[in-house]
Amino acid sequence: MQRSIPCLLMRGGTSRGPFFLESDLPAAVAQRDALLLAVMGSPDARQIDGLGGADPLTSKVGIVRRGQAAGVDLEFLFAQVSVKEARVDTTPNCGNMLAAVVPFGLETGLVRATGEVSTLRVLTRNTGTLSDIEVQTPDGRVEYSGSARIDGVPGTASPINISFLETAGSVCGALLPTGRLVDRFGGIDVTCIDNGMPVVIMAAEALGATGHESRDALNANTALKQKLEAIRLEAGPAMNLGDVAKKVVPKMCLVAKPAAGGAINTRTFIPHDCHSAVGVLGAVTVATAAVMPGSVAHRYAVVPPGLLKSVSVEHPSGEFSVVLTMNPHNPSEALRAALLRTARLLMRGEVFVPPHNQGTS
């Protein structure tokens, strides 16, 4: 007999995946991960026997429970399920899937709306990061339709505003985990930084690229990807991440001068395939580097003035704006990051897994 597990299939930002109540999944990590691999249909390049979409952006899972600490409404565990390998990684954050957490909590009754607009505090358990998430809830229910638009998603939807609190060093232990603004790995200048997502930033031109290539062109550049992986494997231990050969962090980001009126142009590898857009916390981290004089990103950035900076991060399918609140006593230090996302409930029901992958609760 197959086992059925309640879930909501949701889009969060430019990502998509099933969301589960923690209580509906096995408590043991190994059994939980085996079940999630079966749910998504991994390992298989097409994920034909599961819910995965054969792409890292559509092979993600959200696991949610009520907040356990005072002042925390919901807790979120993000799982990146590998498409081609039998591997589940809960090391990184995912700011896109985070956008769907409060809607999921409201849809499942874990939390209640607090008015026409509900602002709830969410703890991302992967890294201990806190965020305040604002969702439109007229009549006490989630409103999904609206006029907000984000690049990478067709049409418009209701805005979801996310304010991140104290993201610096959430994965690596420090904003600049190597202690330097610039390191040199594989003969290339890089900035290793973690403001919610560990990222290795390097100039596209230093690797023989322009930084304005299409995603497909970069994914077809085997020599470039091999060079990036060599740098990543060297940077991982220096960023306090240990051996990263089987981890999805750090992400690798090529930067170049903006081409469409933004602050900086990016091409991000997550970590082996070029992102069709840019990750939420990856964008926050790159924007943070862009406003830091001396970093590799700053060399190519057009930084807006003032202590409240809207930094437009260009990517293959458009741009992503991050609003940074700077420290008035240290204008190169970002104290807070806020951004706009959208989300939508796609399907409510049960996912079925075969007997040999059921695990036990």
Is the same domain home to 289 and 316?
yes
Is the same domain home to 108 and 239?
no
* pTM of the predicted protein model: 0.84
Q: Is the confidence at residue 356, as pLDDT, over 90? A: no
Buried b / exposed e over 219-229, threshold 16 CB at 10 Å, is eebeebbebbb
Query: What per-residue confidence (pLDDT) applies to 166?
Result: 85
Is the same domain home to 218 and 109?
no
Is the same domain home to 324 and 251?
yes
Domain count, the chain: 2
Query: What per-residue confidence (pLDDT) applies to 360?
Result: 55
Look up tokens 């907040």; give the residue.
67
Residue 265 contacts residue 256 (beta carbons within 8 Å): yes
- Centroid of chain to Cα 13: 9
Residue pLDDT, tens place only, 66-97: 999 999 999 999 999 999 999 999 999 899 99
Query: What per-residue confidence (pLDDT) applies to 18?
Result: 98
Is the same domain home to 321 and 349?
no
Average pLDDT over residues 36-58: 97
Spell out the alpha helix ranges (H) of the chain: 29-40, 95-98, 101-108, 215-219, 222-238, 280-290
Is the same domain home to 147 and 293?
no
Task: Please report, for the domain that includes residue 206, its CATH number.
Answer: 3.10.310.10
Q: Is the confidence at residue 54, as pLDDT, over 90? A: yes
Give the structural domain span for 28: 3-159+343-357
Is the same domain home to 154 and 208?
no
Residue pLDDT, tens place only, 248-264: 999 999 999 999 999 99
Residue pLDDT, tens place only, 302-326: 999 999 999 999 999 999 999 999 9
Q: Is the confidence at residue 224, as pLDDT, over 80? A: yes
